[in-house]
Structure 1
Amino acid sequence: MSSLPERGSWAAPLPDLSQPAVNQRIRIGAHVFRIAISTVQRDVPSEPDTHLVQIGVFYGERPLAAHDLGLQSPDACANVWAFLTNRLNETVVQFYTPRPRPTGEINPRLGCWGPRPDLIEQCLAEDDCAIAVVLGLSIWIPGANPPVDDQVFLEAIRDTLVEALSYWVVVAQKTAGPRDRLN
């Protein structure tokens, strides 16, 4: 990674998920996660004609990183992240049917806050294993068909996260053995 944030800090301020539209604790095997999903934000100042949803998955008191589940192989971490991001994109497309942006950028766009500061300090931030599951989904609206019911869409995002987390746990069990350090 070429542009890591300073030690002990996030690349950007974390989203405020203190009053999420979806807030749910789930158990997958021996692991307990908390999923927090913001409301669908409209009129986003820096992104006109866009809906924004912010997501955080927490493991213990911290945002989850694949490393927390014992994943250490760059290939395994890239695999679980690819599964998560592909499934989130599929869910957004199912609900919004978005058109591509005129610039050719993908729609929806998915962004993350990068590696967790404590993992940067441990020099573990060079691959996807340290990236925190703190995400923003940006959906460009012109030509799209936004869902009639935001809550149904947000619950589908939650269900997608549960599916992806289940996959992460299975991959961790198969590749690294179970490790539950933070829960």
Structure 2
Amino acid sequence: MNRREALKGLGLSLGYVIATPTILGMLQSCTTSAEKWTPLFHSENQAHVLERLVDLILPKTKDAPGALDVHVPKFIDLYIHETLSDADKDLYQLGFDAVMSELGVLDQAIDPEQPITLKEKDYDAILSKYLRISKAQRITYIEAQDLVFMTLSRLRDQSVWAYKTSREIGKNVLAYDPVPGVQKGCISVEEATGGKAWSL
């Protein structure tokens, strides 16, 4: 198994729960302060849509930075560019095209000076239609192998995984202890970490 297949297997098959040193290195390379980034895999229009969707999935709050603050879209783009095979990139592209089509911007010309002019409510509507749904509706989408649903579900999973394993969130938002000490059993999460989940 080569490096590309190993990374893909860890990231995709295990549901983004294991962060290898290579993937952590990729995450840290996305922590520059520059606001504008040049996508390696996505087109400019796709990157614009990706940013808007990820921002709604993990928005900034008064207690924690949002996905854009820790450069989640940039990481997703780099991860796809570096780890997916050509066949998997084609499948991903097919799914993202389906999302763009659902938003009505698939055929819009790429113009960095005039990005897509969709409103926040347009992005929120597609997320509500495919992700804020009942269990029965989720099963219906799965059985139909709905491409938009599968793509948005995967994007949500990728966003949460990248967000939780970023340095900023791991050290400053989640409970972080670089050198674990005494093990205390049978205590509440509130008592152990102030109610915070442990950093990976």
- TM-score normalised over the length of structure 1: 0.29
Question: Relative to total residues, which structure has the larger strand share, 1 or 2?
Answer: 1
- Structure with more relative contact order (C-alpha pairs < 8 Å, separation 6 or more): 1
Bigger Rg, which one = 2
Question: Relative to total residues, which structure has the larger helix share, 1 or 2?
Answer: 2
